[in-house]
Amino acid sequence: MKKIIIAIDGYSSCGKSTMAKALARKIGYLYFDSGAMYRAVALYCMQQGFIVDGNIDVERLRAAMSEIKITFTADGVTGNSLTVLNGVVVENEIRSLEVSQQVSRVAALDFVRAALIDQQREMGKAKGIVMDGRDIGTTVFPEAELKIFVTASAEVRARRRYDELVARGTTPDYNDILANVVERDHLDLTREVSPLRQAEDAILLDNGEMTIEGQLEWLCEEYKKCVEE
Ligand code: CDP
């Protein structure tokens, strides 16, 4: 069967990674979380003291960019993909609300995007991948054979993120999360370099009312249609 690239883009906290991971597992593709890479760069900035009073020291980050190595490894028990920043697994740290509050400013910097997009294209060279993010179908792989654009209301998305953070053992405030979801949407939609937008040939999926199983079934159908064409 022909191998394709599947690009899943959309608003923050839509459950893109849950669906992308499940699809990849089901069809034997590799899964890549491009947002995790932006999150890792934001975490690096926080660890290095590059962010003071919410302002990024852009020149220090630019100079350090070649020192930032982001890779993925598989969890020995669950097989889930874990993000590795300069040799250290940072999967939990990059999901914190503090990182969520910085990441979209870091992701708006052109030199950060250029560096990460190069790495993302490398990951897709052999095809057979599912990648989720904001600009995968528009900028990273405009030639992707299957493109999905996911959306749901901000409240539904904030509730999902809240549940995820609680499951990770933290005690977040729902209103802080909702404010963050709304702010990141705004920053992602209005930035100059590859803003969030639906590719013309992407299929729109509003998953606000869908179960995880229903969503996976829908995705598998779209995948089948695409490879059987
Ligand atoms: O999981 P969630 O959808 O909330 O976010 P994410 O996929 O982990 O991405 C975190 C942030 O990175 C987003 O809010 C974007 O600002 C940025 N991002 C991006 O600019 N381009 C991508 N391809 C992926 C993420």
CB 84 within 8 A of CB 73: yes
Q: 178 in a domain, yes or no? A: yes
Specify the pLDDT at position 54: 87
How high is the pLDDT of residue 62?
98
Is there a contact between 147 and 201 (Cβ–Cβ < 8 Å)? Answer: yes
pLDDT at 190: 95
Å from CA of 1 to ligand 1 middle: 31
Domain count along the chain = 1
The pLDDT of residue 180 is above 90: yes
Continuous H helices in the chain: 16-27, 34-48, 58-64, 97-106, 110-123, 154-167, 174-190, 212-228
The pLDDT of residue 1 is above 90: no
pLDDT cut 90: percent of the chain above it: 88
| Residue 36 in domain | yes
Mutate to test the pocket of ligand 1, among 72, 103, 111 (most ligand atoms within 8 A of CB): 103
Q: Containing domain of residue 45, as a range?
A: 5-223
- CATH number where 145 lies: 3.40.50.300
Contacts with 13 (C-beta within 8 Å, 6 or more apart), sequence order: 157, 158, 160, 161, 181
* pLDDT range class, residue 139, cuts 50, 70, 90: very high
Question: In the predicted model, what is the mean pLDDT of residues 186-214?
Answer: 93
How far apart, in Å, do the first and last CA atoms of the chain sit? 11
Which one-letter DSSP state was computed for residue 202? P
More confident residue, 168 or 109: 109
So what's the pLDDT on residue 63? Answer: 98
Shortest-distance atom of ligand 1 to CA 100: 10
Instruction: Say whether pLDDT at 201 is over 90.
Output: yes
Cα separation values, 206 from 62, 131, 183, Å: 37, 18, 20
Q: Can you give the pLDDT at residue 20?
A: 95
With 90 as the cut, is the pLDDT of residue 15 above it? no
d(CA 93, CA 71): 15
Average pLDDT, the chain: 95
The vertex-21 CA angle with 19 and 25, nearest 5°, equals 115
Q: Is 35 in the pocket of ligand 1 (CB under 6 A)?
A: yes
pLDDT in tens, 41-78: 999 999 999 999 889 999 999 999 999 999 999 999 98
Q: Let me know if residue 228 belongs to a domain.
A: no
Question: Looking at residues 15-35, what average pLDDT do you find?
Answer: 94
Report which protein residue has its CA nearest ligand 1's atom 25: 35
Residue 229 lies in a domain: no
